[in-house]
């Protein structure tokens, strides 16, 4: 290894340590002085950005029925984006952490050296240190096993309790049963195998006096532990298959009976449309999308005339709902964890999910003893910078309350809109033609 001459690690390392220490010491004061100016400029920048996005947001949501939720959200966006003013302590603490890490390294190095010396002196006296370390590992496995089992118990009870929500839909309860069955089986396997794994590691840790047991195979045992998992999994598969089919394979007449709602995703919000008196959602065509007609509803289709747009999802309790999910731009995912409902929103391919809410929002609030609880629709498919905040409120009401709410929704297709649409469509179509021409030429 000729390289060795040029790469003397000891040298490099000590230089690095020195540099790090210097870096820690010197620039600290300089940066402390600097921070006030950076803060000012950057906070301005961020605020501008936030203002921009909120402007964008309200602009794009204007044509739809604007909701309280929307503006509140954008206000929150601004508030949240305010950066903290005082960077000084942060710089300081960062450099402390770096220093701390170096100290730990040095500490470990010293311990290593001490151990080395101890071992060498031991070897001189003819003691064996090798088996000492073997025993340490074996014992650590037992310690980790016990601590780990307790940790599992702790997180099942504490974090498990945090994560176990009430399934608020009919099929959701089936899913939860399925989940618990799987959880019990897997937890048993998990614990048993780990006891064996770590227990064997401890019990059979090496010694010079013993020889391992030559045991290359045992076909009967192997057959057994092929068949048992196979049977268990078959049970789970059958059970799962039935549950899955019962959720996704809804008979035609059930489908027709369900309340139809359409939810269309776009960066980064959900557009909600109710099907009106005919319970049929009117056609949509992406080429008709204009600022006024954000969904591209096709008003040549009479079924769309009674459709209503809403700012949030409101559903009647104990009535099946069939949500038609779509997307205007890219993939999104329609996800309401409380209902155990998820289906992707795919541009160019309508999808749907049918479910039946079991509890009204109020009932859930009572159950959870949380007066601020709301069902929430989230987006679960990566869709860009605003993915983490693409939400819509979902409210479940009693049947009567729902009817009253629905009746109050204004028709989108009123005379005003008709006129606006005509004008807009003419303008847009000519513009669009231009745009496509230009892009075509560019290509």
Partner 1 sequence: MASTAIHDTAVLTHHDHGHEHGHHKETFITKYIFSQDHKMIAKQFLITGIIMAVIAMFLSVLFRLQLGWPDKNFPILETFLGKWAEGGRIRPDFYLALVTIHGTMMVFFVLTAGLSGTFSNLLIPLQLGARDMASPFLNMLSYWFFFTACMIMMGSFFVQTGPASAGWTIYPPLSAIPKAIPGSGLGMTLWLISMILFVASSLMGALNYISTVLNMRTKGMDMWRMPLTIWAFFLTAILGVLSFPVLVSGVVLLIFDRSFGTSFYLSDIVVQGEVLPNQGGSPILWQHLFWFLGHPEVYIVIMPALGITSEVIATNSRKPIFGYHAMVYSLIGITILSFIVWGHHMFITGMNPFLGGVFMITTLIIAVPSAVKTFNYLATLWRGNIRFTPAMLFAIGLVSFFISGGLTGIFLGNAALDINLHDTYFVVAHFHLVMGSAAIFGMLCGVYHWFPKMFGRLMDEKLGYLHFWLTFIGAYLVFFPMHFMGLDGVPRRYYAFTEFEFMKEWLTVNTFISWAAIISALAQVAFLWNFFYSIFYGKKSSQNPWESNTMEWTAPVEHLHGNWPGEIPTVYRWPYDYSKPGHDDDFIPQTVPFSQTMSSNLPHDFEGNAESERIQQEWDSKYAADKVEQGIN
Find the binding residues for partner 1 in span 140-179 (CB under 8 A): 140-141, 144, 148, 151-152, 155, 159-160, 162-165, 172, 174-175, 178-179
| Cβ at position 4, least distance to partner 1 in Å | 5
| Cβ at position 71, least distance to partner 1 in Å | 15
Residue 395 interacting with partner 1 (CB under 8 A): no
Q: Cα(433)–Cα(441) distance, rounded to whole angstroms?
A: 12
Other Cβ atoms closer than 10 A to 6: 6
Residue 414 interacting with partner 1 (CB under 8 A): no
Using alpha carbons, select from 325, 264, 276, 322 the residue that is nearest to residue 302.
Answer: 276
Total residues contacting Cu ion (rule CB under 5 A)? 5
| Cβ at position 272, least distance to partner 1 in Å | 17
Q: Cα(138)–Cα(136) distance, rounded to whole angstroms?
A: 5
Stretch that binds Cu ion, among 2-10, 84-92, 161-169, 331-339 (CB under 5 A): 331-339
Q: Cα(136)–Cα(115) distance, rounded to whole angstroms?
A: 14
Helix axes 170-203, 130-163, angle to 10 degrees: 170
- Residues in 46-65 at the binding interface with partner 1, rule: CB under 8 A: 46
Q: Cα(281)–Cα(325) distance, rounded to whole angstroms?
A: 12
Residue 343 interacting with Cu ion (CB under 5 A): no
Contact 284, 365 (CB under 8 A): no
- Residues in 19-38 at the binding interface with partner 1, rule: CB under 8 A: 31, 35, 38
Q: Cα(231)–Cα(177) distance, rounded to whole angstroms?
A: 19
Q: Cα(34)–Cα(20) distance, rounded to whole angstroms?
A: 20
Residue 392 interacting with Cu ion (CB under 5 A): no
Instruction: Please identify which residue in 36, 414, 430, 436 interacts with partner 1, judged by CB under 8 A.
Output: 436
User: What's the CA angle centered on 94, arms 90 and 98, to 5 degrees?
Assistant: 170
Are β-strands 259-266 and 321-327 bridged in parallel, bridged antiparallel, or unpaired? parallel
Total residues contacting partner 1 (rule CB under 8 A)? 139
Q: Which is nearer to Cu ion, 303 or 387 (CB)?
A: 387
- Residues in 220-249 at the binding interface with partner 1, rule: CB under 8 A: 221-222, 225-226, 229-230, 233, 236-237, 240-241, 243-245, 247-249
Residue 197 interacting with partner 1 (CB under 8 A): yes
Instruction: Please identify which residue in 205, 319, 365, 387 interacts with Cu ion, judged by CB under 5 A.
Output: 387
Eight-state DSSP code of residue 330: S
| Cβ at position 233, least distance to partner 1 in Å | 5
* Count of CA atoms in the C-beta half-sphere (13 A) of 46: 15
Residue 323 interacting with Cu ion (CB under 5 A): no
Residue 286 interacting with partner 1 (CB under 8 A): yes
């Amino acid at each position: 290894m000729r390289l060795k001459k040029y790469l003397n690690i000891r040298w490099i390392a000590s230089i690095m340590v020195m540099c790090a220490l210097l870096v820690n010491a010197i620039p600290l004061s300089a940066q402390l002085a600097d921070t006030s100016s950076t803060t000012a400029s950057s906070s301005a920048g961020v605020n501008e950005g936030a203002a921009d996005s909120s402007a964008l947001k309200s602009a794009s949501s204007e044509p739809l029925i604007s909701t309280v939720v929307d503006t509140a959200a954008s206000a929150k966006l601004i508030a949240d984006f305010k950066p903290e003013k005082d960077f000084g302590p942060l710089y300081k603490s960062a450099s402390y952490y770096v220093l701390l890490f170096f100290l730990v390294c040095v500490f470990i190095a010293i311990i290593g050296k001490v151990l080395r010396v101890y071992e060498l002196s031991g070897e001189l006296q003819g003691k064996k240190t090798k088996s000492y370390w073997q025993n340490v590992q074996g014992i650590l496995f037992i310690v980790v096993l016990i601590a780990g089992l307790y940790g599992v118990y702790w997180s099942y009870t504490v974090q498990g309790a945090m994560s176990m929500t009430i399934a608020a839909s009919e099929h959701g309860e089936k899913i939860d049963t399925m989940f618990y069955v799987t959880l019990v089986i897997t937890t048993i396997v998990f614990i048993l195998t780990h006891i064996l794994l770590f227990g064997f590691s401890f019990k059979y840790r090496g010694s010079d006096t013993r020889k391992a047991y030559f045991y290359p195979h045992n076909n009967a045992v192997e057959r057994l532990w092929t068949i048992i998992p196979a049977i268990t999994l078959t049970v789970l598969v059958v059970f799962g298959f039935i549950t899955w089919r019962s959720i996704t394979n809804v008979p035609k007449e059930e489908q027709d009976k369900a309340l139809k709602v359409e939810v269309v995703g776009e960066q980064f919000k959900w557009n909600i449309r109710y099907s009106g008196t005919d319970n049929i959602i009117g056609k949509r065509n992406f080429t008709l999308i204009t600022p006024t007609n954000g969904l591209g509803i096709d008003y040549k289709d009479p079924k769309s005339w009674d459709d209503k747009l809403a700012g949030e999802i409101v559903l009647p309790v104990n009535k099946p709902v069939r949500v038609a999910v779509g997307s205007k731009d890219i993939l999104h995912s329609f996800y309401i964890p409380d209902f155990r409902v998820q289906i992707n929103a795919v541009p160019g391919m309508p999808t749907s999910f049918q479910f039946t809410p079991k509890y009204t929002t109020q009932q859930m609030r009572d159950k959870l003893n949380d007066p601020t609880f709301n069902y929430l629709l989230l987006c679960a498919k990566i869709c860009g910078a605003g993915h983490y905040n693409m939400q819509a409120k979902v409210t479940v009401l009693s049947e009567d309350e729902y009817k009253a709410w629905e009746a109050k929704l204004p028709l989108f297709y009123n005379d005003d809109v008709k006129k606006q649409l005509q004008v807009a469509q003419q303008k847009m179509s000519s513009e669009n033609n231009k745009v496509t021409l230009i892009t075509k030429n560019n290509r």
